[in-house]
Homo-oligomer: A and B are copies of this chain.
């Protein structure tokens, strides 16, 4: 909580299972290259429909991470 500076990036994760899983996938993929992720905020929830069924949940999040 000292005078940190944070950067926000916007990521869309997709999942066939749930909204939570789509967010988790966005966070997991980001973790490969970004460290010190601290929080996220959902900015959009969409999805694809095929043959009358929801096939993918697509959740967009802004992720905040600490700049060292």
Contacts and interface: CB of A to CB of B under 8 A. Distances in A.
A25 B47 contact: no
A42 B45 contact: yes
Given A23-B47, A40-B46, A49-B63, A56 B7 contact: no
A3 B16 contact: yes
B67 A24 contact: no
Given A37-B49, A39-B49, A48-B38, A27 B14 contact: no
A4 B11 CA distance: 11
A9 to B, nearest CB: 7
A56 B2 CA distance: 8
Given A42-B46, A67-B29, A60 B3 contact: no
